[in-house]
A = this chain, B = another copy of it.
Amino acid sequence: MLSNLSFPVHAGSYLKDPTESELGKRILHESIQMIDDLGLEHFTFKKLAKQIGSTEASVYRYFENKYKLLVYLANWYWSWLQAKILKETYNQSSKFFKLERTIELLASPIEQDEKFDFIDEKKLYHIIISQGAKVYLIKEVDEENSQGAFLAYKSLCAIVSELILNINPNYKHSHTLASTIVETCHNQIFFSEHLPRLTDLSKDDYDELKEYITHLTASALRA
């Protein structure tokens, strides 16, 4: 299927491609529900296996452990978002619009993509916000990184960095600002939901978040 081929999710995170079997797709679908429900710590392959009516051993044939599964899901999300950003900005002539639209896509909940019925993009977005940092906040980060676990994230940041440089070619911190934008979107959504005293944003007020990030970015590039 072409729709699968369009997502070269990095091979290192899985033992067996989960998109190529029914069981694999069920693993992806149910793990998204369960990680969102339980959080990564309380999520186990045993619980997942029970949920999908399979066995622990079968799940282990697809993923080494739950962290690798999270890495897979994060890569899926970053790749998917990158494709969406490229598609929606490709034909635009205004460099300002391009960056603004990109920020909007980063800072908004995502609608279901009918092409991938085994991925609940909205829940996946929620997982990335609430668990995403655990992908790299690990002891093995350097090893994972050298195996390509974060390529999709880095690629996305590179794109945002390019958009920044298009607007201000002299700006010295395009990568820094790019990752600041991405991380801040997630942090602030999390804070608005759980730690409201760390933000002025109201829960689910994505317009306000977009305005904040856009203003922060624009003023940094103008000054």
Q: Is A199 an interface residue (CB 8 A)?
A: yes
**Residue in B142, B179, B215, B220 whose beta carbon sits within 8 Å of that of A188 in the complex:** B179
Question: Residue on B with the closest CB to A158?
Answer: B197
A150/B195 in contact, CB under 8 A? yes
Size category, A interface: 35 or more
A134/B136 in contact, CB under 8 A? no
A39 and B138 in contact, given A179-B198, A184-B180 (Cβ under 8 angstroms): yes
Secondary structure of the A side of the interface? Answer: helix
Q: Is A41 an interface residue (CB 8 A)?
A: yes
For the complex of A and B, 8 pairs with smallest distance between CB atoms = A39-B139, A219-B223, A179-B198, A219-B219, A154-B197, A176-B199, A175-B200, A141-B194
Residues 161-213 of A contacting B (Cβ, < 8 Å): 172-180, 183-184, 187-188, 190-191, 194-195, 197-201, 212
Docked pose: A3 CA to B191 CA in angstroms = 32
